[in-house]
Structure 1
């Protein structure tokens, strides 16, 4: 079966690496500092491959989403660093916590800037407008994530290289979150212009990006139009993100509806990395679960499902596995009732693996990573319509479409987990189930409080294997900044220790005096909201 073949490949790679290391020749040692996978120069289209994959795997599916899933109570941390994050024991306030994610997001920012510079200045790259547009969209994406989690943070001086490839600024200055977002929006506008209504084609001498783009490159005839839809989807996301700072909320909400109308028409168009094959390419949440097994089913999340008679529980969860065999690809049992899940209490779990049930989607080996999904766009539409007032019928239709698409995404992950790793299981979250759920449970709650139910449903839909917990964390902070306490979390430590932001990475806390001063002892993560959530930085 695929799961055993995958493990075999992992072991084979380890043994092969050891054999190669023991057989190094003197010539090889002479070249030890040369990395053939990181050449000093490469065509822009090859950098797009790494930029797209790293953005999805690391920025979206990595530590930012993992820690957010604990803070936002999509999961409960029950082992190692995620347990310490759960009980707020050092982990949220130490500079080492997010250092890997810090390194990865700034590497992506650097690579995006390199591609843009190449397309603007290199004679062989000039005219590669689709390549440049993709880089600008992914620069906007990574820049926004860095600003969202870190607040004021280095940006404008990062990724700027000297002619010899060394950094121009070894200690880049800290920029304000507001100024970073101004550039984020400008990069998206620039990309929209470059894509020329979705008709743009690369014309540089170095050749088109084509299939080197692993997100939309499988169909080069629609590549430009799909990236154009993504740019508009992100404009909708970020305009809503900044709503608390808007000078004219009505205009911005109407703009969001315009952006939505120019974005994805269905889930097949959404921006995602779907290269995982349950063999050599693996979903990042599965990879983490396989190596760490540090997450358990969240009690507060399941309570929200139960309150709404939501069919996502129990079927999206596994019963406890005292044997621990689930980590080896057998022994998991899909829960058939709520009691069988044995959810872990938020903030007070035992630090003990295999004691609690877990999310079945943790084992979805080939579930795609979503940079921005169709269901998110429909939730943004529903929220904008709710806030504008007088358009609740339209908002209800948008919400229904969002919930249906969210059900389908979760169902795909549950089936993936059942087929590729878990011993058994199935899912019944199709459109008919979603429609019945909407009519019986959601619609009455929407009629009573449209905006509240829209935001709760968005929070529930972002639970999964697709890396959307970071967006749920961003929404929660944005709503709290506006005094809208729609989503109730249950960790008792949140009274004075809810992480309002992530701390800077250790690499720059140690090497950059300005970052070190801003970090201090790290306790600021509990007291200083980011700018767009009502803080000063």
Structure 2
């Protein structure tokens, strides 16, 4: 099935939208009578767009994957974040497109006795909510998505949002296991082609991801993550990925072609120096280091949750619960990622040498967490998860940018959160007051 062609580039999105309404409640004119099989493809595309747009660029700069190259993006290197130009399109992608369409899919699926569609919708809804809360903390949800019925939706606490994420994923797994469904996804499912077993495993792996997000707050998070991973993705073929094609190029490819205003951070180049993956992750052209061919070619896939991440989550959770097997899980994660990004062309002996030199656990919890999270940081390149992992664990150790001290970021440290968009400040009376700053830590970061 051909993808639709309206994928919007990260930085171009902010220029393309002129809407002055409060995005949390924008009715995106999604026709309510459209069949489920017609709603699902653009919904999946919108999720990919949300996770690969400005949010990934900004998180990538904060996690030192990228540096800004021109006047538009360079302020982000100094931790100056325009809460209108940058935040508004991300918020609009989330609320005016992704969440409202997914919510409609779930509602229609339940009305039409089609739990398989409901399970897919709930999985993606949980993914978006968890990702959004990892960026902003408290967000509107329980009173959002109501259009003109509520123009001032209350903000749900991050703790409540994460509980809702787990509830949605649990319900999704039940729905996807239903023996009967009037309608079921097939070729219209651009992510997994209607494979319900793979959707269940993806949902379980997302449960593990979001459990470990709250590891500072929940003593049982690591154990819960392991329980979820027991039913999670167990093969690279089960990766939840959005695949691009000649009708719809990969957004990082398009971004670098049309708005080439980021380069690879020298710290990340140093991290992967002499790494077998270096040439796949980074491409140097005329002395400028950019995102490499694996992540930024015309048809490079976008990974929403993967087997590689599942094994990294497993390694971390095993370490935190003092259970055996962390080294095996870590080796499998790194080996699989090397094979993946290099197309299987790295000789096994070379991978063995890399593992022996860089991926050997020591028996000290903090040292071992640093090894696991540093390797996961490499494998999370171009995603928002690298920044999330740094904030929740402190690893990898990243020095703040030297010129990051400013009124918006008064201590000069790496930001802990996104600012709320100006549209929320202006149009939603329920926006948190006082507005949190970039260094105000939300619930799971305390």
- Please indicate the TM-score interval, normalised by the length of the shorter structure: 0.7 to 0.9
Q: How does 1:280-299 map to 2 (within 5 A)?
A: 280-299=247-266
Instruction: Quote how far apart the aligned CAs of 1:314 are.
Output: 5.5
Name 1:30's counterpart in structure 2.
none
Name 1:395's counterpart in structure 2.
326
SS in 1 for 2:241: strand
SS in 1 for 2:73: helix
CA shift in 2, pair 1:77/1:368, >3 Å: same
CA contact (8 A) 2:315 2:327 kept: yes
Distance 1:409 1:82 in 2: 31
CA contact (8 A) 1:445 1:453 kept: no
Name 1:454's counterpart in structure 2.
372
The answer to whether structure 1 residue 190 and structure 2 residue 171 are counterparts is yes
Name 1:210's counterpart in structure 2.
186
Stretches (4+) displaced over 6 A: 444-448
CA contact (8 A) 2:315 2:372 kept: yes
Instruction: Quote how far apart the aligned CAs of 1:78 are.
Output: 1.0
Distance 1:208 1:317 in 2: 40
The 10-residue stretch of structure 1 (486-495 or 452-461) with the greater mean CA deviation from structure 2? 486-495
Name 1:63's counterpart in structure 2.
54
Alignment match of 2:150 (pick from 161, 166, 169): 169
Name 2:418's counterpart in structure 1.
502
Instruction: Quote how far apart the aligned CAs of 1:184 are.
Output: 0.8
Distance 1:60 1:150 in 2: 14
Name 1:359's counterpart in structure 2.
291
Alignment match of 1:237 (pick from 209, 215, 226): 209
CA contact (8 A) 1:497 1:526 kept: no
Instruction: Quote how far apart the aligned CAs of 1:201 are.
Output: 4.6
CA shift in 2, pair 1:129/1:401, >3 Å: same
Name 2:9's counterpart in structure 1.
none
Distance 2:255 2:179 in 1: 39
Name 1:404's counterpart in structure 2.
335
Name 2:353's counterpart in structure 1.
436
Q: Deviations over 1:158-183 (max 9, x none)?
A: 113xxxxx432112111111111111
Q: Deviations over 1:409-444 (max 9, x none)?
A: 3325xxxxxxxxxxxxxx954554322210233227
Instruction: Quote how far apart the aligned CAs of 1:255 are.
Output: 2.5
Q: How does 1:417-496 map to 2 (within 5 A)?
A: 428-429=345-346, 431-443=348-360, 449-463=367-381, 467-468=382-383, 470-480=384-394, 486-489=396-399, 491-493=401-403, 496=412
Distance 2:335 2:204 in 1: 22
Distance 1:273 1:510 in 2: 35
Distance 1:390 1:38 in 2: 48
- Structure number with the higher helix fraction is 1
Distance 2:225 2:416 in 1: 26
CA contact (8 A) 1:95 1:509 kept: no
TM-score by length of 2: 0.85
Instruction: Quote how far apart the aligned CAs of 1:72 are.
Output: 0.3
Aligned-residue CA RMSD in angstroms? Answer: 2.6
| Unaligned runs of at least 5 residues, structure 1 | 1-8, 11-34, 161-165, 322-341, 343-355, 413-426
Instruction: Quote how far apart the aligned CAs of 1:529 are.
Output: 1.1
Q: Deviations over 1:181-227 (max 9, x none)?
A: 1111111111111122xx64522xxx43222111112xx4xx11111
CA shift in 2, pair 1:64/1:200, >3 Å: farther
CA shift in 2, pair 1:232/1:400, >3 Å: same
Q: Deviations over 1:372-402 (max 9, x none)?
A: 11111000000111112252xx111100110
CA shift in 2, pair 1:364/1:171, >3 Å: same
CA shift in 2, pair 1:446/1:85, >3 Å: farther
